[in-house]
Chains A and B, each alone.
Chain A
Amino acid sequence: MRILGRALVTALVALFALVGLAGTALAHNQLVGSTPAQNATLETGPASIELTFDQPVQAGKDLNTIVVVGPDGTSQWQDGTAVVKSNVVSVPLRDLGPAGVYNVGYRILSADGHSVSGQLPFTLTKAGTGTPSDQPLNASAPAADDSTSAAAPQNANDEGVPIWVWIVGAVVLLGGGVLLAAKVGGSEQ
């Protein structure tokens, strides 16, 4: 048991060293406020949607998304991409169109690296004159890729591959590693 104790002490020392190194608060972000408020009833649409979280949001290209879906369930009314400023994520809003329930959907990357998503509806009582965005976010193909490829030209020829290709690669890697290890490590005897 003394040996075991020593191993635990080693691990504990390492633990405290690690805790000393890590400085930032890391937890899931939670939505604490928004403009417009959840289930608000408005006569005219606001200029922008602002979501306030309890902690800073991780900023980065395409990491945070806000969409505003109109009463028809398909038209999108956000104007451009979301901007992060500490713990506030905002997106400009177009002039709204028909009266009805608009739904704000968001996905942000919290400080601990996990995605947090949610939605909050608001109701427009007077029809506006605006038209929906002609560049809606598409669920299957990321429209943002075209607009951002100019900023990162080296990514243009670095085509990504689907997740399953990575998984197959990992399984092959693992299988090869196991075979190699069995050879190097010797037989059971």
Chain B
Amino acid sequence: MTQTRATAAGNRYHLVGVLVASSLVGVLVGLAITATAPIPGLPQPAAVVRVGLPAVRVLLDMAAVVTVGLCLLPLLVGLDHPRSAVPLLRGARRMAMFSSLVWAVTALVALVMQTGEVRPGAAVSFAAITEYVSTVGAGKALVFVAVFALLCFALSVWSLRSAEAIPAELRAAVALFALLPLPVTGHASSWRWHDFTMISMELHVMSAAAWTGGLGAVVVVLAGNRTLLAHTLPRFSKLATACLVLVTITGVFNGYVELVVSPTLTLVEGVFTTGYGVLLLLKTGCLLALGAFGAHIRWRLLPAVSAHKTTALVTWAAVELGVMGLAFGLATVLTRAPIN
């Protein structure tokens, strides 16, 4: 049983590494599942785009998740223990500053790559990017994300300069708002169920981000401080339970709708014969594992944490974050996978 070390947060930054690395593994697994042979005569996008685009998109997601988690953290910690919380939350704002910068830059790189993807073989000029933004919704969404991530960055910098200037709610709201545009341009929606699938997809993304980011932020920032952890983890646990329920319901609903409205396949065929269906099954597996790990943390570790005892929380959180990263990687490929 590995123990939570009550030392500087530097020891726990590897959790972020676990999350990002497993998300990249998820992308590679997803790409392997959905790989198709090149079509004769048709120009293919360059390899840097085929593999690089999902990789950049998942890095974008990870930067978004980390930022959202760090921006939610002050709300979870609350104001009950200001003396010990203030320096830790300042560190969290610093991390949010860097992660929101990564978020903005990856959004711009994704924009360049998606422009390159639609006209395989052609080099990407500035004019091509502006044309892509003006004709394709996904382009506009990425610009929107980049702008809001930069706003989030500016708010983080400002709140570092003067701690009281920016309410934590505002930073959390801006970070959550920046999550919204991209799901609308994935295959979030289909004609008949349009409004429901879109709302459901947005809820799916927001709750997945709050869950993963919240867990990461709570463990990375707070695990060294038993008092704050004992105070915050039960509150996070409530949030995580709500997120788990939401992610499950919305995920099942969206996957079902996406397969049912497919004009060429039945539901069962869709689940078992398509790359999309296999990815869906893998994500279901991830969710079940996450539920089990979450239950372990909630029922076994939480009572000990609340009693200010030493627990193996960091280890279990690392495992849970690894599975979460995997699910995000699969999701990135899933949003781009055709159903056939």
Contacts and interface: CB of A to CB of B under 8 A. Distances in A.
Given A174-B105, A181-B153, A103 B239 contact: no
A67 to B, nearest CB: 4
Given A27-B191, A76-B41, A113-B185, A7 B173 contact: yes
Interface stretch (B17-25, B94-102, B222-230, B293-301): B94-102
A184 B156 CA distance: 11
B180 A178 contact: no
A69 B39 CA distance: 10
Interface in A130-189: 136-142, 145, 154-155, 158-164, 166-167, 170, 173-174, 177-178, 181, 184-186, 188
B253 to A, nearest CB: 15
A25 B189 contact: yes
Interface residues of B, number: 87
Interface in B142-184: 153, 156-157, 160-161, 168-169, 172-173, 176-177, 180-181, 184
Contact of B39 (A105, A138, A173): A105
B108 A10 contact: no
Nearest to A111: B137
A117 B118 CA distance: 11
The interface residues of chain A, by DSSP majority, are classed as mixed
Nearest to B137: A113
Given A7-B72, A185-B157, A30 B340 contact: yes
Contacts of A54: 263
Nearest to B128: A160
A91 interface: no
A105 B173 contact: no
Contacts of B43: 65, 137-140, 142
B123 to A, nearest CB: 3
Contacts of A109: 118, 136
A181 B138 contact: no
Nearest to A26: B189
A102 to B, nearest CB: 11
B235 interface: yes
A27 B187 contact: yes
A26 B197 CA distance: 11
B195 A19 contact: yes
B336 interface: yes
Given A67-B41, A185-B97, A26 B118 contact: no
A63 B136 CA distance: 11
A119 B42 CA distance: 10
Contacts of A25: 189-191, 194
A11 interface: yes
A174 B46 CA distance: 24
A112 B264 contact: no
Given A28-B338, A30-B264, A73 B109 contact: no
A11 B157 contact: no
Contacts of B11: none
B153 A105 contact: no
9 contacts: A1-B235, A4-B239, A15-B206, A16-B199, A22-B184, A25-B190, A163-B46, A163-B52, A184-B160
What 9 A-B pairs have minimum CB-CB distances, sorted nearest first?
Answer: A160-B123, A113-B138, A160-B125, A105-B39, A67-B41, A11-B176, A69-B41, A25-B191, A105-B42
Interface of B: 36, 39-46, 48-49, 52, 72, 75-76, 78, 91, 94, 97-98, 101-102, 105, 108-109, 112-114, 116-128, 131, 135-139, 153, 156-157, 160-161, 168-169, 172-173, 176-177, 180-181, 184-191, 194-195, 198-199, 202-203, 206, 235, 238-239, 258, 261-264, 336, 338-340
